[in-house]
Structure 1
């Protein structure tokens, strides 16, 4: 595992002209019990009334779903519908950051290797307003979303909607429904400028109800070791694909970022600001498929299928010899996050492993 060194000098970066961003405008008891979920999903999928129940739910809520996109009102789901498998207790006990590698779909369907399966990484949320897609973020508590501040320039909270549990943005036929919430507060870093300290929290008007396709992601904590060489991010490209795609990244040591990034991203001494980091697409082909605000998450060593968020997507820098992603360095900004969450008495279990 490569070692990452965070030795930078605070700098002012003027790099927006070079940034390519798809959506800037528009086996132990503490692990997730996969056998339990498989059994529940199988029971549900073989039920004679399952399909009818889903059809009834969709017909009943279709108007609300459509109206939520236009009016900005939340769809208030007080609990997981009774006809769906009940996972709440199991999820509460396992904690943050658990992915479901085989997905949660009850439908036999082959998907592209780069396509995210339904429920595989269930912490990514979609942010929209009158525009159907602004960007994405990570759910770190039932009422808190972590995203990039640059995504929210000149936007007011009352105009924003956060959708959790989304997968296929062209369909509402997933077995577990999505949930919408209105944003009541935007908390931006008070020293955000350019792309420096590019971090913000969204506080929604009512807590999301956790369910298999809506979970929280862990944040970096002291003593947690994660694999910098096997990180991932997911992204929708609404114009061409309704389902999210995943891209694998290797976080680079800071001195390599200094070499890879164009000079407008660097300070006068040609070093990268400590609030930023870079990573390369290991396939060198998908780094342009990025959603600003999306989490860059990495496997926690010694914990199967468990992840912690290492960064926040800002965008990609396309150069002839490489494709490099630019990300917020979340480890550096954790003191700011703790300062915001502490007074809100946000339970640590939602975002610390």
Structure 2
């Protein structure tokens, strides 16, 4: 079943040492992971090419006007058919918290995306304007080293399916916990080499997660105090209900050079776009 938003159009991410990159949460006060305002960096990527606004995947806000997501969810959709929604939690109601929709100026898909093994499955959505930072709309820093990743603290968020026997998608943003495992261990389990631009994690046994493509994988980094940083992006893969093998994700750290390069290009840079946190 396709997930639709509830109104008509007219009413309408081996780890190394380095530095984190991107627009930072100025107050360093991400909401508690147990609070009602859980994951303010998660955005919904919407297709508006028909009467209804249709959810196609998730992404992360890494700058006020830049979303990091996966190539495969876009499926040759053009910029003018896309909308990014931030601040959303429960799509079945407009009463829980205020969301904001922005249009997409440019899609920057990785030119070496491999649809057969999902290597380089990453894309940037450059928005026509920037989101104003609020309590429920915040950026997430990309992991660029700068502290040990707590591999058993990772999770991703989206509106994708939860269980194999489910026909519907959840209306409320869900939290899926995973644990990163070493690539050499993963390769032995899978039986084939793993790209350095990917990593493995366990935790999806018995879960479907169809519709979570592009969702940010976030982990705790450092200790006392820890910070949250995006280390990966939910990738594409074919799974079956009985499949207990690890799941493959896009490695954000390995693609930092590509991301930084793209955001320096004049065509992908919106000047004088500075949004202060409120």
Give yes or no for TM over 0.5. Answer: yes
Q: Cα offset for 1:222?
A: 3.3
Aligned twin of 2:194: 272
C-alpha separation in 2, matches of 1:205 and 1:192: 25
TM-score by length of 2: 0.78
Aligned twin of 1:204: 127
Q: 1:157 to 1:321 in 2, by over 3 A?
A: closer
C-alpha separation in 2, matches of 1:272 and 1:280: 15
Q: Does the CA-based 8 Å contact 1:287-1:323 persist in structure 2?
A: no
Aligned twin of 2:186: 257
Q: Does the CA-based 8 Å contact 1:234-1:290 persist in structure 2?
A: no
C-alpha separation in 1, matches of 2:211 and 2:222: 25
C-alpha separation in 1, matches of 2:120 and 2:158: 22
**Structure with higher strand content:** 2
C-alpha separation in 2, matches of 1:150 and 1:299: 27
Aligned twin of 1:128: 46
Q: 1:305 to 1:120 in 2, by over 3 A?
A: farther
For residues 137-191 of structure 1, give each alpha carbon's deviation from its aligned partner in whole angstroms, at most 9, with x where no partner exists: 00001100000011112111110000000100100002x3000001110001121
Aligned twin of 2:21: none
* Among 135, 153, 168, the residue aligned to 2:90: 168
Q: Cα offset for 1:308?
A: 0.6
Instruction: Verify: 1:312 aligned to 2:245, yes or no.
Output: no
* Among 230, 234, 238, the residue aligned to 2:153: 230
TM-score by length of 1: 0.62
Aligned twin of 2:16: none
Q: 1:255 to 1:142 in 2, by over 3 A?
A: same
Q: Does the CA-based 8 Å contact 1:99-1:307 persist in structure 2?
A: no
Q: More displaced, 338-347 or 136-145? A: 338-347
Aligned twin of 2:108: 187
For residues 216-241 of structure 1, give each alpha carbon's deviation from its aligned partner in whole angstroms, at most 9, with x where no partner exists: 11101232322112100112147242
Q: Cα offset for 1:345?
A: 7.8
C-alpha separation in 2, matches of 1:102 and 1:312: 22
C-alpha separation in 1, matches of 2:210 and 2:32: 22
Q: 1:328 to 1:173 in 2, by over 3 A?
A: same
C-alpha separation in 2, matches of 1:134 and 1:287: 16
Runs of 4+ in structure 1 off by over 4 angstroms are none
